A and B are shown apart, each in its own frame.
Chain A
Amino acid sequence: MAALPRRIIKETQRLMQEPVPGISAVPDDSNARYFHVIVTGPEDSPFEGGLFKLELFLPEDYPMSAPKVRFITKIYHPNIDRLGRICLDILKDKWSPALQIRTVLLSIQALLSAPNPDDPLANDVAELWKVNESEAIRNAKEWTRKYAMDN
């Protein structure tokens, strides 16, 4: 593997020196392009109180192409599927090299505050979110309590 680009080093250092509240991202011991991430569920969202583990991988041509991000902790959300894949435009066609690991993770945290069932990735969840929002929110809270807690 080629040497780690300076930009990745710089981002990693900044993530440590000026951490984003509610988000931590740590590079893996043996692969500095692979980050272990924890995003806390935003206040006043059904995910409040949850600690969600994600994995983030910076591809070879990062920052020219988007990082690959996936939830590892189960989450009940219309834009995140059962495999933890995330439907978010900046991870696809709206990627820009001016975005960073921190801004991507902030966007994901914002997605938790603002689920968008009209652009679903998890169809059954989105369906319920549209026809019976309060039940969907109950499910999301239940999943958060059951799966996304620390001991």
Chain B
Amino acid sequence: MSQNERVQEELEALEAILMDDISIIYNDQGCAELVKSTIFPSTANEVEKQYVCVTLEVQLPENYPDCKPLIKLKSPRGLDDSTVDHLYREIDKKCEEYIGQAVIYELIELIRENLTESNLPTCQCAVCLYGFSEGDCFTKTQCFHYFHNYCLAKHLIVTEKHYHEEQEKLPAWKRSTEGFQATCPVCREPISCDVHDLRSSLPPKELENAQKFELTHELKLLQENMQKLFSYQKSKGGIIDIEAEENKLLLITNSSDDPSDENSDDPGPSIPTNITEGSLENGLLKNQRCFNRFTNNR
């Protein structure tokens, strides 16, 4: 059997088994170049219980199967880097073992077994940056991104509030008629969730056991270097002088009159209350005071 026939036979078998779950891309000469398949854990067809997936891409060099194919794992969902690295190592072993024989179906099975074993998202929640522990309530979006219910609810409530505030600022004819559409924080795909249901969940477990913050020696050194740079640039006239620039622009500087100041009832964010006068001798304090208004003012 010629090489091409061997590959052809393997691909036909794959198509017969996997049907629509596999796609084969041919080059101009009609030779198969790339085989793609998105793999899910086996959960007896219960799609809502599949928490992870990955797309396998197998590139077939000319002398495959007498050499190893080139493997890429794309769009891993619910899998962290170390899990993906582990998969790559397993795949490489399998390919080594199967030189001279059809390997693609073996790879798909290998990946599926691995996904089935670790069918719990090992990634972090993109909102709080902590992982998912036993007992945490979490949501898998239709786009396969993971959030603690608690975190996702916060996101949805705030974005919906912002949406309505922005709409109210617009003249009636410019307002959207479609209403608020929730989107995934990671990929901005539209998502649909029940906020009331989500918000009743408890905060993620890992949050409670997280370490406290401490200023390390390394940080101190970095701070000192930054301070030196600041002083040097200031001596060269390279630092923006907020007051002088404001006078040039004739801006009104009384922030309590500023209607765009969304935090007017809460001075906390714009004025770091625990910085005392003179603790930053370089004028940063002054800049910080104006800061909130500056960024809101556009």
Contact across chains for A148 and B216 when beta carbons are under 8 A apart:
no
C-alpha gap A27/B214 in the complex (Å): 11
C-alpha gap A128/B154 in the complex (Å): 44
C-alpha gap A96/B162 in the complex (Å): 12
Number of chain B residues close to chain A: CB under 8 A? 60
Q: Which of B20-28, B110-118, B231-239 contacts A (4 or more CB under 8 A)?
A: B231-239
C-alpha gap A100/B129 in the complex (Å): 10
Contacts of A10 in B (CB 8 A): 129-130, 210
User: Which A61-104 residues have C-beta < 8 A from chain B?
Assistant: 61, 63-65, 68-74, 82-85, 87, 91-93, 96-98, 100
> A26-B222, A34-B272, A97-B126 are contacts. A73–B288 as well, Cβ < 8 Å?
no
- The answer to whether B229 has its CB under 8 Å from any CB of chain A is yes
C-alpha gap A33/B128 in the complex (Å): 16
- A36-64 vs B, CB cutoff 8 Å, 1 = contact: the mask equals 10100000000000010101010111011
- The answer to whether B274 has its CB under 8 Å from any CB of chain A is yes
Contacts of A33 in B (CB 8 A): 269, 272
Provide a sorted-by-A list of 12 A–B residue pairs whose CB atoms are within 8 angstroms. A1-B268, A6-B207, A30-B279, A53-B239, A60-B268, A61-B269, A68-B292, A70-B287, A83-B245, A91-B295, A97-B185, A148-B238
Contacts of B284 in A (CB 8 A): 55, 72
Which one of B236, B249, B266, B270 contacts A82 once the chains associate, using CB atoms below 8 Å? B249
Which one of B212, B226, B232, B298 contacts A121 once the chains associate, using CB atoms below 8 Å? B298
> A7-B129, A55-B287, A63-B127 are contacts. A149–B207 as well, Cβ < 8 Å?
no
Report, nearest first, the 9 A-B pairs whose CB atoms are least far apart: A147-B238, A98-B126, A59-B269, A31-B272, A98-B185, A6-B210, A64-B158, A68-B295, A9-B213
Among B128, B130, B266, chain A packs the most CB atoms within 10 A around the CB of B128
Contact across chains for A53 and B229 when beta carbons are under 8 A apart:
yes
Contact across chains for B240 and A71 when beta carbons are under 8 A apart:
yes
Q: Which residues of B contact A (CB under 8 A)?
A: 126-130, 151, 154-155, 158, 166, 185-186, 188, 207, 210-213, 215-216, 218-219, 222-223, 226, 229-230, 232-233, 236-240, 242, 245-246, 248-249, 263, 266, 268-270, 272-276, 279-280, 284, 287-288, 291-292, 294-295, 297-298
> A7-B128, A59-B269, A97-B126 are contacts. A32–B298 as well, Cβ < 8 Å?
no
- Residue ID in chain A nearest B166 by CB atoms: A93
- Residue ID in chain B nearest A63 by CB atoms: B127
Number of chain A residues close to chain B: CB under 8 A? 59
Contact across chains for B294 and A85 when beta carbons are under 8 A apart:
yes
Contact across chains for B294 and A83 when beta carbons are under 8 A apart:
yes
Which one of B233, B242, B297 contacts A148 once the chains associate, using CB atoms below 8 Å? B233
Contacts of B166 in A (CB 8 A): 93
> A34-B288, A121-B298 are contacts. A16–B218 as well, Cβ < 8 Å?
yes
